[in-house]
Amino acid sequence: MLSTVGNIVKNMIYAALDLGTNAFRLLIVDISKNNILKRESIIVGLGSYISKDKILLPPKKYYDALDRIFKIVKKFKVKKVDAVGTSIFRDSSNKKQIKDEFYNRYKHKLKIISPENEAILTSKGALESVQFKNKNYVVIDIGGGSTEISLISNGDLIDFVSLKLGVVREFNEYGIIENFSLSSQRIIFKKIKDKFIKYNFFKNLRGKDFKLIANGGTPTTLAAIKLNMRTYNPNLVNGQALSLGYIKDIHKLLMIMNTNERLKLAGMEKGREVVIIYGIFILLSVLRVLKKRIVYVADSGVLEGLVKETN
């Protein structure tokens, strides 16, 4: 149930669409009844289809996913659609062509948002679904192509950093699926840490009291596995606490499993069984840098942020 939707025109069916580097997500809201009509998530793995020259060449499953999404949009008689693209679209050198083709095919505009806008939307959405009374939060959004980390104080974005770290980006760099050696683990952790330490953002957090919130497929999947969730329930995932010890243990377990074994785990979404390993590398690195032992999970993010910002 949405707690806040702003002063949106009543009797309007609204759709928010988040096209990410790994997954495409859809949220359809009935504004007049203040509730959610439909959620849809499709793993596309678009980040694996960009060339060394940064030319994005969408595969068939990109169009299949969008055709499916806009079929749902039509079915619910949506009056307004906000579609945003994140890291993979920002990285592409042919983004104008992608946007033009998107409009010609689906008759809706694709807005490629900046890292700052993504951080704002993600933070607004994530904090909607967790009920804490803290003044300060750090929100981690681990995506397919980038990771946004934001400092929120009294509901406002104070500072943020956007790192070129993501589950698909890291998989593309290392290409390891199973049998992670200790040396490869050390290399991955070191390279991720090296990307962190050059940012003053993390130094400026020292001494600050804040609660750590994480959203995106990595933390929500970790929560679903912890809860042995055969059928995903966002209400149970929201606010779920993940300890550093649990995250380390599940990481070690997943790294010695093959992909079929990972898929048998309750809570593991098909299509995430490879890249989640790299998401956990990133999450553990953030916890270490911020010296935190607990992170709380939020199922919501950019989509809910779009709903809040629609007036």
Q: Is the pLDDT of residue 121 over 60?
A: yes
Q: What is the pLDDT of residue 203?
A: 85
Q: Looking at the structure, do residues 107 and 80 belong to the same domain, yes or no? A: yes
> Of 82, 115, 148, which closes a domain?
115
Q: In CATH, what number is assigned to the domain containing residue 248?
A: 3.30.420.150
The answer on 233 and 124 residing in a single domain is yes
Domain presence at residue 309: no
**250 lies in a domain?**
yes
Q: pLDDT digits over 175-196, tens only?
A: 999 999 999 999 999 999 999 8
Mind listing the pLDDT tens digit for each residue in 248-284?
999 999 999 999 999 999 999 999 999 999 999 999 9
Residue 2 lies in a domain: no
Mean pLDDT for 143-166 is: 94
Same domain, 221 and 99: no
Same-domain pairing of 294 and 179: yes
Q: Does the residue 3 lie in any domain?
A: no
Domain membership of residue 120 as a residue range? 116-303
Average pLDDT in the chain: 92
76 is a domain residue: yes
- pLDDT of 4 reads 37
Q: Is residue 311 part of a domain?
A: no
3-state class (DSSP) for residue 190: helix
Residue 218 CA to residue 139 CA, distance in Å, equals 14
For 71-90, how does the pLDDT look when each residue is reduced to its tens digit (9 = 90+)?
999 999 999 999 999 999 99
Q: Of the residues 115, 150, 169, which one is the last residue of a structural domain?
A: 115
Number of domains into which the chain is organized:
2
DSSP secondary structure of 11-79: T-EEEEEEE-SSEEEEEEEETTTTEEEEEEEEE--GGGGB-TT--B---HHHHHHHHHHHHHHHHTT-S
User: What pairs with residue 39 in β-bridges?
Assistant: 27
User: Does 150 lie in the same domain as 273?
Assistant: yes
Taking the C-alpha atoms of residue 80 and residue 28, their distance in angstroms, rounded to an integer, is 10
Considering the domain architecture, whether residues 274 and 215 belong to the same structural domain is answered as yes
Please tell me whether residues 134 and 248 are part of one structural domain. Answer: yes
Rounded CA gap, 130 and 151, in Å? 16
297: pLDDT strictly greater than 90: yes
Residue 217: CB atoms within 10 Å: 23
Report the pLDDT value the prediction gives residue 11, as an integer from 0 to 100: 58
Is pLDDT at 146 greater than 90 in this prediction?
A: yes
What value does the mean pLDDT take over residues 238-245? 96
The answer to whether residues 43 and 174 belong to one domain is no
